[in-house]
Amino acid sequence: MNGKKWIAASLAVGAIATLAVFAGPAPVQVFRTTAGITALGQGSNSISGDPEYNFAILDGSNLCALALGEDPDSNQVFAMSINCESSQASLIVWDKSVSNAVATVATSTSFDTVVEQGLKSHHVNNERFVAQFAVESGGKLAGGSLTVTGRLHLGTNGCPASVLTALDVDPKDAIFCETDVANTDQDGKIKVAERAGRADFIGTLQVIESGSTNTWLVPLGHLSFRQVLDSNLPE
């Protein structure tokens, strides 16, 4: 490579590096999320030994415990991180004491949306999505997959946003059996009057129990996306 070409290439690489430094993290928001899950695994009758279902009713704190490998403390809560374009999301354990994620339950591998503008809105204010999530290995989780489908409220900037619960109303929620999930986690006494949307999900969790990995089916799960815990969206 001659000198002029080498200098040009070096300048181009330098410009890309400079842009990368100043670009900063991709704009995302973290929403406190409540979860209600009916799961079941393989069990056996204690008397006859015949196979039978093992049912488990789980909430967000249980998902945090699985991802952490131990019970969450009072600051560690279940949440969803999602970018402004609604193309990438993660279900995480958010530690409010350090304002950061300390574990990941699952990360989206695809996130597809359709949008709608309500009759009383001056901007596109709703999106419905279907997303595939891969369950991360860590703590007492050894993998799995989740299919999540639901609705998110969009702000005037086109990004998911929480609003007063009374304003986050979509009659189509009933069509898709999307309901609110009561907060039974350790911060359940904190009253929150905001919501960013609702979702349902199904899938599997590979759970490590007594040194063995067992499959938990999740035929029924609900999520409520509540208040913003963190945001780096541009003002």
Give the pLDDT confidence score for residue 235 in this predicted structure: 59
- Between CA 213 and CA 183 the distance in angstroms is 29
40 strand-pairing partners: 55, 217
DSSP 3-state assignment of 35? Answer: strand
| Predicted model pTM | 0.86
The mean pLDDT of the chain is 89
Taking the domains of the chain in order of start, what are their residue ranges?
Answer: 27-231
Tokens standing for residue 204: 């599997």
**Residue spans of alpha helices (H) in the chain:** 3-23, 60-68, 172-175
Listed in sequence order, the residues at least 6 apart from 126 whose beta carbon sits closer than 8 Å to its beta carbon are 115, 116, 117, 118, 151, 152, 153, 154, 170
Phi/psi of residue 20, nearest 5 degrees: -65, -40
The most distant pair of C-alpha atoms in the chain lies apart, rounded to whole Å, by 83
Q: How many CB atoms lie within 10 A of CB 177?
A: 10
Each residue of 68-101: pLDDT tens digit?
999 999 999 999 999 999 999 999 999 999 999 9
Tokens standing for residue 201: 């999900």
Look at residue 15 and tell me whether its pLDDT is greater than 90: no
Each residue of 124-167: pLDDT tens digit?
999 999 999 999 999 999 999 999 999 999 999 999 999 999 98
Average pLDDT of span 46-64: 94
Give the pLDDT confidence score for residue 85 in this predicted structure: 95
- Between CA 68 and CA 174 the distance in angstroms is 34
Look at residue 207 and tell me whether its pLDDT is greater than 90: yes
